[in-house]
Each structure stands twice: as C-alpha cells, then as structure tokens.
Amino acid sequence: MALLQISEPGQSPVPHQFKRAIGIDLGTTNSLVAAVANKGGANNGVANVIKDAEGRAILPSVVHYDASGAQCVGYEAQAIAADDPYNTLASFKRLMGRGLNDVGDTSQFQIATPKNTLKDALADTVDKNDVIRIATAAGEVTATQASAEILKSLTTRAADALGGAIEGAVITVPAYFDDAQRQATKDAATLAGLNVLRLINEPTAAAVAYGLDKADDRHIVVYDLGGGTFDVSILQLSEGVFEVLSTGGNSALGGDDFDLAIVQWALSQANLSAEQLSAQEYRRLLMDARAAKESLTDNNSVALSIQSSAVTWAGELSRDAFDMLIDALVAATIAACKASLNDADLTAGEIADVVLVGGSTRVPLVRERVTALFQQAPKTDVDPDQVVALGAAIQADSLIGNNRDSDLLLLDVIPLSLGIETMGGLVEKIIHRNTSIPSTRAQEFTTYKDGQTALAVHVVQGERDLVSDCRSLARFELRGIPPMVAGAARIEVVFNVDADGILDVSAKETITGVSTHVQVKPSYGLDESEIAQMLKASYSHASEDRDARMLAEQRVEAEGLVDAVNMALAQDGNLLNDVERADIDASIAAALAVVGQSDAQAISDAVAALGRVTDTFATRRMDQSVRAALQGKSIDDVADGSL
Amino acid sequence: MKLEHNFFTLLGQAQQFTVDRAALKKRFRTLQREYHPDRYAAKTPQEQRLAVQFSAHLNTAFSTLDNPVKRATHILELSGVTIDHQNSTIKDPIFLMQQMETREAFDDARAENDLPALESLFNQVDTQFQACQQDFAALLDASQLLASADEKNARDTVGKMQFFEKLTDELTSLIRSLTQ
C-alpha cells in the first residue's frame, strides 16, 4: 500500500481558498446582487452591492422576448416595454408557483402594462390546473423562466466583477412564500445554472445586514414593504442565533398598489377610464404616478398630468390626499404586524429594534404608522433597497465557508401549515405554521375500503379547515398496498421540510414493509423533465456553449467534493479501517484523474462514486460527533483525540 | 445515523417534568449551532443530508420539551405508557362537570363579546392548568419510576392538561381579537 499523506487534525490539506459566493435579492420590481469582498484574504470583508457597467445597482425585474428567441433584461427591457408591451414581462414574481385559480381576475393582472394583462397574454394551452404560461414572440414562457433570465444576468455581472465563475448563491424569498413559490425560485436557479446554497427569507437577510447578530439578546421586527409583497417577521436574537418566531404578511400587497391608487385617482379626476388610454399612455401615467409617490416623500404636494389623444388633464396631489388613498393599504400592513406579535407572544413594547426593508418604506405614512405601533423610530441607515441583497451576501459568504469564525446562524420557520386532504374535503395539518425548519413529521393513515391497494394523497398548504380554501401543493398515489380489510393497513406519510423551506413527502406501508411507489406531481410547478427540456432549449437559443458550461459545473462540484472529503479524512481518518480508507483514496484519485479532462459524464460518474464510497464514513463521523456533543465535549476535543 | 430518542438526554436535561426553560433553550441553540444544515453547506451531500435529519430531530425534541402537554406525554412514553390523545377519555365526574360549566361560561362570554368575563375565565383556567402541571410534577418528579397505581392518574392528568391547554389557546386568541 502506498504511503498516505495525513494532515494536521482540524486543518485542511488544501490551503483555504476564497470562494466566490453571491447574495441575490430576486424582487418583484427590482433585483440586486451583492458579495462580500475578500479583503486581503483576512475574510473580514464587507458586503457590497455589485453594479452594472453603467454603475447602476438595480436590475429592473423585466424581461423582453423577441421573435428571434433572444431576450434582454433590466433597463433595456423596460425601455422596450412601452413599444412592445405584449412581449415584455414584469411583476412575474407574483406568478411564481401559482396557478390560474390563485390569480383571480386575469384581466386585472398586469404582465407589463395594463394593455398586456394576463387575460390577453395567457398561452392558449393553459388550463386552470396548470402552471401559468405566457405567450410571447419567442414562444410560451413561465415566470420561472423569466426569473432565470434575471438570475443569469446578475450572475454574469457578479462573475465579471469578482473575476471568475460563481460557486454558490443565496437567493432571498418573501418569508410568506409557500412551498410551490420556493420550489419555483429554486427551479429558476437551476435553469440559470446557479448553485443555490440556501433560500433565505428577505426579512431575515435584512436583520443580518444590520449586523444585529453582534447585539445582545433582543427581539427584532423586520417590516418589509416591497414593490409587490409585504412581509413582517419577528426574530429573537441570542448569541448570534437569529430565530424567527413568527412571520406574516400578504404576498399580493406592495408599493405597486400605491402607484395604482394614484393612477386610479388621476383617472377619476380626469373623468377617464383606463380603456381610453393607449398602452403607451397608460404606461406613462403609471411611471408618473410612481415618480409622484417618490416625490411626496420629501414634498407636500406634487403635480401630475395625463396627456392622451383623448384628453389632457393636469392636477395636484397633496401628501394628505395621497395618505388617504393608501390609508387602507397601510392599515392592512399594521394589522399583519399585530397578528405576528400575537403569534410570537410579544407586545409592541418588547421590540428592541425595527428594521425597514423595501423602497416603499420611504413613504412617510408608512414610517409614521410603524413608529406609532412600536413606539420607536425604525432603523433606516442601510439603504432599504439594498439591505436584503447585502444580508444574503453575508450569509452566502458564511455558508460557502469563507467566514469560518462566524457565529451567525439563522433558525427559520415554515410560514404556512402543511397538511393533507382527508375524508370530506377536510385538512389534517401535519406541520403547523411557525414550526422551526428543518422539520420532519410522520403521520399514520389507513385504508377506507376492504382490499384497497392504492391511496391518493393530496398535499395542501394553508391555515383553513377546508381543502378548497388552501393551496394545493401536490398529489401523489401510493400503490402496491397489499389487500387487507379496511383500517388494517398502516400507511406512514412522512413530511420533510428542508432548511430552504421546501417540502418532500414520502410514504410507506409499515405493517408488511412492502415498498410502495410514490410520485409527487407539483400542482403548479414544473416537473423535472420539463426543467431539463427548458435547460436544453435555453442552450440552443443562447450563444453560450452548453457542453463547456456543463463541464465547468461538474468540475466545480467534483473539486468541492474532493476538498470536503479530504477535510473529513484529515479530521476523522481514524474512523476507517485500511480497506475502507483505500477505497476512498482510490475514489479520490479517480475523481482527480478525470477532473482535468473534458468528459463531463466521467466527472459526474466519479462524483457519484466518491459519494457512495463515503456514505458510511459520513454517518460514522456524524454519530461520533453527536455522541461527543451529548457528553458535553466540543467537536474540537474529538478532533484532538482527547475523547 | 443513530438518533437519540430520549429528548431529555438529547438536550442534556434531567428527565423530569419541571424543566429550566432557559437552560433548555441554551442547550438547543448550542447543538443547532453545531449541526444546523447551514454548518454543512460546504460539506459532502451525504453529510448535508445527515445534518438536515439531525437538525430536524433537534427541532422536534426542543418543541416537545418546551410544551407542557407534549413534555408530559414524552415522559410517559419513556416509561412505556402511551397516550392516544384523540381517543382518551377522562372519567372523573367532578372534573367533567366543572369543564361543562367552564365551556358554558366561555360560550356565553363569546356570544356577548364580554371581555372582562373572558379575561377572568382565562385567569381561572390558567390557574387550573398550572395546578394540573404541578400535580403531574409531584407525581413524576419525585421518583423516576411510575407505580402502576399512578399510571392511570398520570394519564388522566395529561388528559386534563390537554383540555386546559386547548381552552387557554382559544381564550387567548379570542381575547386578542377583541382587544385589537
């Protein structure tokens, strides 16, 4: 046997390398990317938003598709929107993981401009139980695909700025996002070829950006009013651990509604209806309304006008009048704050810090009401537009291992209860909302009829008692149950929610142990074959070389795995006998032999083989570590061999 | 992976009904800091999977010990006494009579939106709930072993606790909705 190199316990055999990790705020209206700079390798870098070539931090979440199949995003797409509204998508985050049933009146749902509502834009093939597809000159497009274009653009921007391929990303989602919406976000990252380290909730990211983890034990409220969504989260901070106690909000309420309220006001003042304006004219009015809203932050009144072929109108909107227009909307957010306080078992007076997120929190009435509720001025020193992306970047830096000294830990909760349909269309809740994640719950069910061999399981998410009032997440059938009398079979359905808040359901018949087949079909999502197809299609449109990208991705994965295994061997090599050790070393050598070559499949196979051969080793390490922890010894003691 | 199913052992607490909630939370945080999947993001997929499992197990353990009814149920389960919360019945006639009266008072106060009555009812039920928890602690914490004669008693006490918990939850949410 060849002599093996063993490194110092606790130290990596490979010198610690700075890895390029980014944080992405994938917003309804605007998106941003940020990263923690590697300052002289000291890893005490500061998070910064990465700007585009023109020095702009924001990328408007707008995608334009043209007949040739090419896309453009951001400001470029926004500029085309007025001239070509039917092939421009905006606000598509509201469609992530949603079906037609969720959207309601499609004629009121604007895709880019009021002239391009979902009703007009919907692809003919979509039925009400399907994922929403929008017809464009470049073919049918889903919100997931449009989001992938935004992610790709931000990733390219970051890779240029950081000088190399991005190795991992943290993407933020509203805390209130349900399973389907989170899954759709992850699918978008897959389409964009991005390795997702974690999905984290926007409010949690904001608290991280404020560096509140350095503060003493306290309760924090994050009030996040974005373009299209409102979120409130209550966090408890203790010794660097952020624990989300409760979340609430409304995934269809945001600053865009303030703009629309101004538009409605202007139209009524001018005795016009939206139909009397052309797409361009309406879009102009909408942009003027947004500018008026922003102007009212620092001014007591603002001039507003409508120039259309039909009529010319000019008027003045005062701050007081604007406050009245949005009063009910702001009141709804305050009510949600109170509900979240109740869920967390706290009163407003027990809150130490209030953090504001989202451009809409610049509106004076919002600040006024938030200040009144919590009896203190909210924190505003980090730009509310950037704070989420900055927090995501800090978390990405920590997750990828650049900042090993960080004590920062986010313990999040599931925002909405998960359950399954039982007899009579009722919901049996299996995981309740505000349960800490990751979470595992098992529930037993039985058969209803003699000789029943299959069981249809319908997974839903929501707080109501009736299935029809909750969101349908997935349906699957459990087949191959041995025929027994009614009530004799014991079917265990296991719900696993991972740290991203994404659900995985499995089921088995426990008495006979007969293996049963489970297939989960997402109600409003894309299944894996669809994603694979979209990936393929995106390569044929884009100029990038598909094979080269796949190879690059496989290499990153293989190198990461070899690093991780080497680290594990250095720490706990003593848990292996000679034969096992030789197997692992051989697999590492095999992986290293192919990683420099250009056969992506060979690399992928080597990665899989190395994974298999280290499976038992991983379990033993975990068992040893947990055993030591339960005896009150730290992990370092174990590595030192002093156990 | 071997998962420790005695949550007291797992979270380093004495196996008894009375828990030090601050110590429990501190221990929980220390373990999550070590084993949360975020700590494994740069490790192998195998290790990441194990971390998700163990972290979820820690969450279950903490939420069990942090809640009086779940904690009592867990203690009994560790002593081999299983409780079927859905099908267990309490046969204590005095208790049942009291609870029917409480229910009626609750329904009346709810119909009238009578906040002072609801608050006084809450205090009354909460006092009974606390007393019930003390009964259970007295029964269990003195000796680790449960005499068979006490088993029925312990089972009933948990049933009563569950009843009080449900009622205090309902009262709390009703009082909150009226005071907002």
- Supply the pLDDT for residue A479: 80
Q: Which chain B positions have a beta carbon within 8 Å of A568's beta carbon?
A: 43-44, 47
Q: Residue B16 sits in which domain range?
A: 7-66
Is the residue at B162 inside a domain?
A: yes
Is the residue at B71 inside a domain?
A: no
| Gap between the Cα atoms of A282 and A530, Å rounded | 36
DSSP state of A39: -
Q: Choosing among B4, B35, B46, B64, which should be mutated to test the A contact, i.e. which has the most A CBs within 10 A?
A: B46
Is the residue at B72 inside a domain?
A: no
Q: Which chain B positions have a beta carbon within 8 Å of A499's beta carbon?
A: 36-38, 52, 55
Task: Evaluate whether A43 touches A403 at the Cβ level (below 8 Å).
Answer: yes
What's this model's pTM, rounded to 2 decimal places?
Answer: 0.82
Kindly report the nearest CA distance between residue A228 and chain B, in angstroms: 26
Residue A244: phi, psi to the nearest 5? -80, 120
The answer to whether residue A16 scores a pLDDT higher than 60 is no
- Residue written as token pair 């009736």: A466
User: Pick from A106, A119, A112, A114: which is nearest to A87 by CA?
Assistant: A112
Give me the residue from B33, B46, B54 closest to A626, CB to CB: B54
B58 and B124 together in one domain: no
Q: Choosing among B7, B27, B32, B43, which should be mutated to test the A contact, i.e. which has the most A CBs within 10 A?
A: B43
CB distance from B169 to chain A under 8 Å?
no
The answer to whether residue A43 scores a pLDDT higher than 70 is no
DSSP string of B69-93, one letter each residue: HHHHHHHHHHTT----TTT-----H
Q: Last residue of some domain: B48, B66, B84? A: B66
B106 and B32 together in one domain: no
Q: Which chain A positions have a beta carbon within 8 Å of B4's beta carbon?
A: 626, 630
Q: HSE on the CB side for A619, CA within 13 Å?
A: 8
- Supply the pLDDT for residue A586: 93
pLDDT tens-digit map of A123-161: 666 665 577 888 888 888 889 999 999 999 999 999 999
| Gap between the Cα atoms of B170 and B176, Å rounded | 10
Name the band, by pLDDT with cuts 50, 70 and 90, for residue A290.
Answer: very high
CB distance from A429 to chain B under 8 Å?
no
| Gap between the Cα atoms of A40 and A48, Å rounded | 16
Q: Which residues contact A627 (CB under 8 A, 6 or more apart)?
A: none
pLDDT tens-digit map of A526-569: 677 777 777 666 655 554 566 777 787 788 788 888 988 998 89
How many structural domains comprise chain B? Answer: 2
Is the residue at B1 inside a domain?
A: no
Would you call B180 and A335 a contact, using CB atoms and an 8 Å cutoff? yes
Task: Evaluate whether A268 touches A260 at the Cβ level (below 8 Å).
Answer: no
pLDDT tens-digit map of A448-471: 888 888 888 888 888 888 888 888
Range A377-385 average pLDDT: 90
Is the residue at B76 inside a domain?
A: no
Strand ranges (DSSP E) for A93-132?
Answer: none
Kindly report the nearest CA distance between residue A80 and chain B, in angstroms: 41
CB distance from A9 to chain B under 8 Å?
no
B58 and B101 together in one domain: no
The one-letter amino acid code at B41 reads: A
pLDDT tens-digit map of A271-285: 888 888 887 788 889
The answer to whether residue A328 scores a pLDDT higher than 90 is yes
Name the band, by pLDDT with cuts 50, 70 and 90, for residue A39.
Answer: low
CB distance from B42 to chain A under 8 Å?
yes
Domain CATH for B26? 1.10.287.110
B109 and B172 together in one domain: yes
B99 and B171 together in one domain: yes
Using CA of residue A547, residue A552, residue A558, residue A561, what is the dihedral sign?
A: negative
Using CA of residue A163, residue A169, residue A174, residue A177, what is the dihedral sign?
A: positive
Helix (H, G, I), strand (E, B) or coil at A368: helix
Domain CATH for B155? 1.20.1280.20
CB distance from A499 to chain B under 8 Å?
yes
CB distance from B11 to chain A under 8 Å?
no
- Supply the pLDDT for residue A304: 92
Is the residue at B120 inside a domain?
A: yes
pLDDT in tens, chain B (180 residues): 888 889 999 999 988 899 999 999 989 988 998 899 998 887 888 888 999 999 999 999 999 999 999 999 999 888 888 777 666 677 778 888 888 888 889 888 888 888 889 999 999 999 999 999 998 888 876 655 556 667 778 888 888 898 899 899 889 888 877 776
Domains of chain A: 21-191 (3.30.420.40), 255-324 (3.90.640.10), 418-529 (2.60.34.10), 545-640 (1.20.1270.10)
B101 and B159 together in one domain: yes
Catalytic residues of A: 25, 93, 202, 224
Element at A196 (helix H, strand E): strand A196-201
The answer to whether residue A641 scores a pLDDT higher than 50 is no
- Supply the pLDDT for residue A502: 86
ipTM: 0.85
B147 and B97 together in one domain: yes
B101 and B161 together in one domain: yes
- Supply the pLDDT for residue A463: 85
Q: Last residue of some domain: B66, B83, B117? A: B66
B37 and B105 together in one domain: no
B113 and B37 together in one domain: no
* Of B82 and A200, the one with more pLDDT: A200
- Supply the pLDDT for residue A38: 72
Q: Which residues contact A510 (CB under 8 A, 6 or more apart)?
A: A444, A490, A491, A492
DSSP state of A58: -
Strands A230-238 and A218-225: antiparallel
| Gap between the Cα atoms of A567 and A588, Å rounded | 12
B58 and B97 together in one domain: no
Would you call B62 and A499 a contact, using CB atoms and an 8 Å cutoff? no
Is the residue at B87 inside a domain?
A: no
Kindly report the nearest CA distance between residue B11 and chain A, in angstroms: 8
- Supply the pLDDT for residue A632: 66
Is the residue at B84 inside a domain?
A: no
B127 and B170 together in one domain: yes
